Amino acid sequence: EVQLVQSGGGLVKPGESLRLSCAVSGFTSSNAWMIWVRQAPGKGLEWVGRIKSKSDGGTTDFAAPVKGRFTISRDDAKNTLYLQMNSLKTEDTAVYYCTTDLNWIWGQGTMVTVSS
């Protein structure tokens, strides 16, 4: 069974950092482009960023609101995706989901709250 299991959310203060993880099982994620999407409380879905497979160059792209503050990396040996979030702002408060455009199965989501 394909599963994406997320971890790493929590409450942080503005300006602090947090790293989210997304562990993939049931398929080999190394061939997949992996994606982060977020959803602010009571709002819609917002694409955060994506990392291509290593065979496609492993490059990343980000949405304008997070560009320069967030990075995405992958450890294909561990079948795990990461989202490093730096200089967090209150407007980054959201549930963060990982998914893949190989099959668009989603993780369970992890809440990130940025508040003083």
Partner 1 sequence: DVVMTQSPLSLPVTLGQPASISCRSSQSLVHSDGNTYLNWFHQRPGQSPRRLIYKVSHRESGVPDRLSGSGSGTDFTLKISRVEAEDVGVYYCMQHTHWPPYTFGQGTKLEIK
Q: Give the interface with partner 1 as residue ranges (CB under 8 A).
A: 35, 37, 44-47, 49-50, 61-64, 97, 101, 104, 106-109
Based on CB atoms, which residue is closest to partner 1, 86 or 105? Answer: 105
| Shortest separation between residue 4's beta carbon and partner 1, angstroms | 9
| Shortest separation between residue 53's beta carbon and partner 1, angstroms | 15
Based on CB atoms, which residue is closest to partner 1, 68 or 116? Answer: 68
| Shortest separation between residue 19's beta carbon and partner 1, angstroms | 20
Q: Is the dihedral of CA 76, 102, 94, 60 positive or negative?
A: positive
Q: Are 98 and 104 in contact (CB under 8 A)?
A: no
| Shortest separation between residue 94's beta carbon and partner 1, angstroms | 13
Name the residue among 101, 109, 102 with its Cα closest to residue 83. 109
Based on CB atoms, which residue is closest to partner 1, 44 or 68? Answer: 44
Q: State the DSSP H helix or E strand holding residue 53, giving kind and residue range, or none if neither.
A: none
- Please calculate the CA angle 29-57-18 and round it to the nearest 5 degrees: 60
Could you tell me how far CA 40 lies from the centroid of its own chain?
A: 14
Based on CB atoms, which residue is closest to partner 1, 11 or 111? Answer: 111
